[in-house]
Amino acid sequence: MSFRLRVQGPRACFPRPEFRRDQISYDVIPPFVARAIFNAIYCRSAMRWHIDAIQVLNPIRFIEERSPNRRLLLAEPHYLIDGHFSVKANANAAQFTKMFLRNARRKQYAATPFLGMPEYSAEIDLIEEEDDLVAPLNMHPGSLDLGWLALDLEEGARPNMQYFRAIMEDGRISVPPLGSNALAC
């Protein structure tokens, strides 16, 4: 079963690893951060969230914040995030679905969801039917190459961050599954 969340906030910072001193944000929410938002709502050791797609609803705008180091933030990020979970053997997927939906509807989270960094809180709405969603304007018509985007940690004895080439088509980024040939470490 797939779930859809509307995630937004006044500011966000998803620091790119290539900038060590300054905190320069990715253009959009990386899938591993989106997965952390699903985890904040509901997660158990017998389940793993997977992000399927990210829809960018607001224009991508940056603002600069001065602190001891420079921070390049996203202004008014707003996304629709589609995700699903997989379960280990003998796990009760129906119970996990029930608990996730209950927590998401009540906005009772296991952890505080944030947009990249703890000081940038996330506002989350569960989208259960298309009627719940005001049709978003396409702020990003056409195709846009966003470069390499951090996907998630590869599971195993030596976990590595995997990256994929993020291409936004009409505001939507399709996220490849872990282990896909489209990924780089």
Q: What is the mean pLDDT of residues 21-26?
A: 91
Q: Is residue 179 part of a domain?
A: no
Q: What is the pTM of this model?
A: 0.92
At 55-65, the pLDDT tens digits run: 999 999 999 98
In the prediction, which pLDDT does 30 show? Answer: 98
Q: Is residue 160 part of a domain?
A: no
The CATH number of the domain where 22 resides is what? Answer: 3.30.70.2660
Domain boundaries, position 67: 2-143
Q: Is residue 31 part of a domain?
A: yes
Q: Is 88 left (phi over 0), alpha (psi -120 to 50) or beta?
A: beta
Number of structural domains in the chain: 1
Q: Is residue 184 part of a domain?
A: no
Long-range Cβ pairs for the range 141-145 (8 Å, 24+): 141/170, 141/171, 142/169, 142/170, 143/167, 143/168, 143/169, 143/170, 144/168
Query: Is a pLDDT exceeding 70 seen at residue 16?
Result: yes
pLDDT band at 82 (very low <50, low <70, confident <90, very high): very high
In the prediction, which pLDDT does 133 show? Answer: 62
In the prediction, which pLDDT does 136 show? Answer: 60
Based on its alpha-carbon atoms, the radius of gyration of the chain, rounded to whole angstroms, reads 16
In the chain, % of residues over pLDDT 70: 93
Q: What is the mean pLDDT of residues 24-28?
A: 96
Query: Is a pLDDT exceeding 90 seen at residue 130?
Result: no
Residue 142: CB partners within 8 Å, gap ≥ 6? Answer: 169, 170
Helix axes 93-106, 31-41, angle to 10 degrees: 90
Q: Is residue 164 part of a domain?
A: no
Q: What is the mean pLDDT of residues 113-135?
A: 85
Q: ∠ CA(152), CA(148), CA(183), 5° rounding? A: 55
Q: Is residue 152 part of a domain?
A: no
Q: Is residue 182 part of a domain?
A: no
Q: Is residue 48 part of a domain?
A: yes
Q: Is 79 exposed, middle or buried (0-12, 13-18, 19+ CB in 10 A)?
A: buried
